[in-house]
Structure 1
């Protein structure tokens, strides 16, 4: 190796690489890491491997971990930093191993970023699909309403004429029949003027979304207390995902810790109760609270917030049988 490295140099390098990853993403942090390894050691190249797969390279490509000299390898779990030249000094190896440790953390961040991009892409595609479905339903409703409105108006016109005696004297039985026909035609006309609702939307289970967002290993992890059976809510998956993201924004914006998230069905209430309790460093963000209020109005849900001294957020969602 070209020269020895000091602990202070490695510390400054780790801070610089972490800042690069924070501002530009884990991929930029990995590239900065191997470039820093080349600069610190004054070798011709360095590469970072994860499980035998090269994920970052700077300078000349060193040998793969399986063919490299043991003194060229700096390993931490499944992550290996391979240098172009052997590092003999034990102290230098100890310092440089911290780069491999950071590399493993950045690789975990990269996997989460890739998963988040995949989820965003899936949500965009789902949103487009739902928009196309909604547009198709609107067109079908408009055609059906147009096809029915004209004969319905003709029918109501004849009923009015007969009720006024223009077709002759009506017997009591005929009068009753006409009144029933008029009421039925009026109800049908009102229904044609109403847009179709989402009451026939499929029920979605809220548990997988909560586990994916607040489960172990996630940045906003919480202690989850979920029912054994499905938490069925009549809402599109995209809407439930938006609700969960809004809750995540609330907690992260308040710097919440010791989060407990519980879902249950209280006695005497025909709703699922989603209860969040946490310690907060800051007040809950106003914009996230406004978003939650809009979502609650859309689904006829109710929510309440208590943020002193601890955060306690309750959301009541319409309950459906599992």
Structure 2
């Protein structure tokens, strides 16, 4: 070899390699190790092998460990450092063995880093798969919710209108049939609510929202009639607030006066929001279209009667504990 490395120089080199591996990973530490071996010995090249496999190389590639001169090879466990020229001095060989021992430790770290990267990649793939699965389940749940709850709310709306006499007088038999239909739809609604829970945050209570829009002192103030219990709607709060603002625009566009706004339970499966008023003009089309769109999205039911007076009913899905 061209020169001998002192013990202190080897120690400083070991510290520098360890620090580089700490900051940049074991792969960077292995590359720095063979570069340091060339620098310390002024050999033409150095190579680090693990189990007969070349791991790192600096300078000219020396022979493989099984073909190199025994004095070119420094070995520790399964790790071998092969120099370009033989190292004859026993003290130099002893110092360079410190590099080989560090190389073996870095190889173990490199194997752990590879395993950690593989595990991270596996976990990332699994997370993506679970995210896709959850999105698919949410789409399926949303479709099932719409396909099942919407026609059920339509049935409840028509049963409610017939009970209020909007389809004419009812015979006792018709009244019994409607009561049975109401109980059956209410029970089915409760079961669907257990099977298809909604995860969006619901409005805590509809009454403060209605009071803030139609209460005393407001432009479209109305006589408000609320139940004592909280009016909790199974819909996100922003959508409920938008529905109330759209209702206010609709009534203002029709020049509604003598407003009466009532909220009452409907067969235990929903809330009936009833608005009665005198209207000077027909209901404006754009707010009415938006209100219909919002009620469909919320799986609610809207019915409008403009003669002789304006009567608007929204059957909202009820949130039960």
TM-score category (smaller protein): 0.5 to 0.7
Equivalent pair of 1:145/1:192 in contact (CA under 8 Å) = no
Change (3 A) 1:161 1:170: farther
With normalisation by structure 1, the TM-score equals 0.57
Equivalent pair of 2:72/2:86 in contact (CA under 8 Å) = yes
Equivalent pair of 1:33/1:103 in contact (CA under 8 Å) = yes
The whole-number CA distance in structure 2 between the counterparts of 1:167 and 1:113 is 78
Structural RMSD (CA): 2.4
Residue matched to 2:253: none
Equivalent pair of 1:74/1:100 in contact (CA under 8 Å) = yes
The whole-number CA distance in structure 2 between the counterparts of 1:48 and 1:195 is 60
Consecutive unaligned residues in structure 1, runs of 5 or more: 198-322
Equivalent pair of 1:156/1:182 in contact (CA under 8 Å) = yes
Residue matched to 2:198: 195
The whole-number CA distance in structure 1 between the counterparts of 2:57 and 2:76 is 18
Q: CA deviation at 1:126?
A: 1.0
Residue matched to 2:10: 10
Change (3 A) 1:172 1:152: closer
Q: CA deviation at 1:169?
A: 1.9
**How many residues matched?**
197
The whole-number CA distance in structure 1 between the counterparts of 2:185 and 2:79 is 78
Consecutive unaligned residues in structure 2, runs of 5 or more: 201-321
The whole-number CA distance in structure 1 between the counterparts of 2:106 and 2:91 is 24
The whole-number CA distance in structure 2 between the counterparts of 1:189 and 1:140 is 14
Residue matched to 1:24: 24
Say which SS state the counterpart of residue 62 (structure 2) adopts.
coil
The whole-number CA distance in structure 2 between the counterparts of 1:50 and 1:94 is 20
What do the CA deviations read for 1:82-113 (whole angstroms, capped 9, x no partner)?
A: 00011111111100000000000000000011
Greater C-alpha radius of gyration: 2
What do the CA deviations read for 1:1-37 (whole angstroms, capped 9, x no partner)?
A: 1111211111000001001101111000000000000
Residue matched to 2:80: 80
Are residues 1:153 and 2:153 paired? yes
Say which SS state the counterpart of residue 56 (structure 2) adopts.
strand
The whole-number CA distance in structure 1 between the counterparts of 2:156 and 2:196 is 16
Residue matched to 1:169: 172
Equivalent pair of 2:21/2:29 in contact (CA under 8 Å) = yes
Say which SS state the counterpart of residue 87 (structure 1) adopts.
coil
